[in-house]
Structure 1
Amino acid sequence: MATIKEIAALAGVSRGTVDRVLNDRGAVNPETAEKIRKIAKELDYKPNRAGLVLAAQKKRLKLGVILFSTGNPFFQDVLAGIDEKAEELANYNCTVITKQISFGVEAQLQTIDELLAEEVNGIAMTPYNDARIRNRINALYEQGIPVVTLNTDIENSRRLAYVGSNYTRSGATAAGLLQLMTSGTVNIGIVTGSSNILCHTERIAGFMKTLVPYRDRIHVIDTVEIHDDEVESYEKTTALLSEHPEINALFFAAGGVYGGCRSVEALERKGSVRIIAFDLVPTTRQMLENGTIAAIICQQPKIQGSKPLSLLFAYLTTGETPEKEYNYTAVDIRIKENL
């Protein structure tokens, strides 16, 4: 393995000069810097990981996390993963600052500003799928502040990596379950979070595409957005089922599942409406146990909380880009019998 000493000898400079170039510290003549980088590349130089991590301790890195939403119990498990990783990173003098916000571009932009004011070195976030957020992520990249998206992604941005479910596949899984668990004519109501959250729209896209071969008996009647809010979910699910009494299946593509299930129970439709939902949290577990929900698809929330921080820390301390751009979590199907 090549060493800084060998690179310095070949370049005819001091080891300190090589160190400054390879770690972007201090001013070095551009021609000399280019020569050093060329030699390092030819020798396949790899930095000493332990040394870089030790150096990171002196830097006192700060990582910011931005999550949706304050009302979705799923994110409590994501937070648990964040807290576990934050405790580990504290041993390297790395601080993690977590903020939960409601849906909306302005709230997310403001939170990014707040984290920058606290001088974070990298950000993990659940992005709102909007051009202003995309542009901000690209601007952060230019500033040398890496972003890893988690739980939901954003298209055509310069984020470092994504950690979360393959939502198209998850939606397809939901459609497959519904096809297997029903017979005869099925009329579906879709309850989703927001059309501006990419993971919600990808789930529905995967769901709809998978149902195409079964369109002779399975039909989507209507879709409502409830912004992961339990009260809004209760109200809009009630309106949906009242306006379309023919609906005999519900696909919950996001949060707000408990509110929607309570609506089904209040309308005395439990048993006559087949429900497929996501995320095994205490409220959905209760609805699965009592038979209101037929099946739940899980997405390893703790990994969604911990892995983005691992990727950011590795990138900031060693310069290593993630091995994979898309870090998908496993699809885990739960029914009453395998809880």
Structure 2
Amino acid sequence: MPVTLQQIAEAAGVSRGTVDRALKNRGRVNAEVAERIRKIAKEMGYQPSRAGRALAMAKKNVKIAVILQSVQTPFMNLVLEGVLAAKQEVESLGGSVEVFPVKGVDAQSVMEIMDKLYEEQYSGIALVPSEDSVLKNKIRQFAEEYEIPIVTLNSDVEDTKRLCYVGQNGIQSGRTAAGLMGEIIGEKGQVVVISGHISNPSLNNRARGFQSEIMDEFPEIELIHTRYSYDDDWVAGKIVEELIEQYPNLSGIYITGPAVKGICEALEKLGKGKSIKVIGNDFLSENKKWMEKGVINFLIGQDAYVQGYEPVMILFRLFLDHKEPKEEYQYTEIVIKTKYNM
């Protein structure tokens, strides 16, 4: 049976009202007595009523914001599903969650939203960051000066005092892709990374992990300078055309992010759909289609739903139960798929 306030009061030799004030930090209780009451409550396994705490959250007007960059991409639509599930759960328990979409990678828009959230006294923020020194300073200001906790998702900016990160370990994902690439092209040849936005930390980490593993484990493979599509299929297609013209013996392409359609269509058009090996990311319908056609050899997945759901719930648990996240880096699982196990 759950421990009651009356049981704690009897164990501490004080009134029930004194226990209630001590556990809720309402003052008018001697500091030593309050500490003794809290210690007894902990030893007895006391857990406050979740319904009561939810009511308290509603009275405190706890508000959580979620800022999603590149919201137009299919992957972020999956992340949004997780966010909306968390929103429904949080709002059923007295809190509120609002989503602020940002098209593309736009640090200025993110900072403008953050300023608005500060003015409107939001309690915590979950956001997709980007590589921008001013945005990093803004996150640091919110965490240190304003004491507004921030959880990063999908991409991370480590030196900002953010509370924690939920998403893929980009370096390990890139290393995984490099290992696969080395095996399927025979440990020699020419490979290139085609990435998305140059300011996307997650994609940059994938590229770094891929490049470092290729250099360390497959020294006979030549790394061609990374190209950036900025998540645009037309740009990605033109990049492929130029690469094949410049490097007719190109062996492999590692796609760190979106614009898969543009890359694969160009390869097919140029008759290279089977001869150039391709590794991509995420189990999206477009990506699966090209894997089934044999143009993509491997897809490396991450859990989009968790990346949306868990940051909101981490903040909610912080406000509701005063629970800090268990780990600073909450990495989602790296999963490898081929057309045979998709």
Scaled by the length of structure 1, the TM-score of the pair is 0.87
Kindly indicate whether residue 215 of structure 2 is the aligned counterpart of residue 212 of structure 1.
yes
2:76 corresponding residue in structure 1: 75
Shift of 1:121: 1.6
2:110 corresponding residue in structure 1: 108
1:307 corresponding residue in structure 2: 310
1:321 corresponding residue in structure 2: 324
Shift of 1:302: 0.5
2:199 corresponding residue in structure 1: 196
1:8, 1:14 within 8 Å by CA — same for their partners in 2? no
2:57 corresponding residue in structure 1: 56
Shift of 1:320: 0.9
* Amino acid aligned to 2:63: K
* Amino acid aligned to 2:215: V
Cα gap change, 1:157 to 1:37, in 2 (>3 Å): farther
Secondary structure (helix, strand or coil) at the match of 1:240 reads: helix
Secondary structure (helix, strand or coil) at the match of 2:340 reads: helix
Aligned CA-pair RMSD? 2.7
Task: Give % identity.
Answer: 27
Of 127-136 and 43-52, deviating more is: 43-52
1:49, 1:318 within 8 Å by CA — same for their partners in 2? no
* Amino acid aligned to 1:57: A
2:87 corresponding residue in structure 1: 86
1:186, 1:219 within 8 Å by CA — same for their partners in 2? yes
Listed as ranges, the matches of 1:140-179 within 5 Å are 140-141=142-143, 142-179=145-182
1:108, 1:128 within 8 Å by CA — same for their partners in 2? no
Listed as ranges, the matches of 1:1-339 within 5 Å are 5=9, 14-15=18-19, 17-19=21-23, 21=25, 35=32, 38-39=35-36, 43=40, 45=42, 48=48, 50=50, 51-101=52-102, 102-141=104-143, 142-183=145-186, 185-339=188-342
2:55, 2:94 within 8 Å by CA — same for their partners in 1? no
Of 32-41 and 182-191, deviating more is: 32-41
Distance 1:20 1:88 in 2: 24
Distance 1:37 1:226 in 2: 60
Distance 1:215 1:165 in 2: 24
Shift of 1:90: 2.3
Distance 1:6 1:173 in 2: 59
Shift of 1:47: 5.8
* Amino acid aligned to 2:161: R
Distance 1:35 1:7 in 2: 15
1:66, 1:98 within 8 Å by CA — same for their partners in 2? yes
Secondary structure (helix, strand or coil) at the match of 2:160 reads: coil
Distance 2:156 2:234 in 1: 26
Of 225-234 and 145-154, deviating more is: 225-234
Cα shift readout 1:198-246 (whole Å, capped 9, x = no counterpart)? 2122112211222234444312112111222323222323323333223
Secondary structure (helix, strand or coil) at the match of 2:159 reads: coil
Distance 2:41 2:161 in 1: 26
Cα gap change, 1:63 to 1:212, in 2 (>3 Å): same
Cα gap change, 1:5 to 1:253, in 2 (>3 Å): same
Distance 1:178 1:312 in 2: 39
| Structure 1: gaps of 5 or more residues | none
Cα gap change, 1:33 to 1:296, in 2 (>3 Å): farther
Shift of 1:177: 1.0
Scaled by the length of structure 2, the TM-score of the pair is 0.86
Distance 2:261 2:148 in 1: 38
1:7, 1:36 within 8 Å by CA — same for their partners in 2? no
* Amino acid aligned to 1:130: D
Distance 1:214 1:195 in 2: 26
Distance 2:302 2:318 in 1: 25
Cα shift readout 1:88-124 (whole Å, capped 9, x = no counterpart)? 2221132221122121321211122233344422111
Cα gap change, 1:271 to 1:122, in 2 (>3 Å): same
Cα gap change, 1:33 to 1:167, in 2 (>3 Å): farther
Distance 2:227 2:33 in 1: 59
Distance 1:178 1:34 in 2: 63
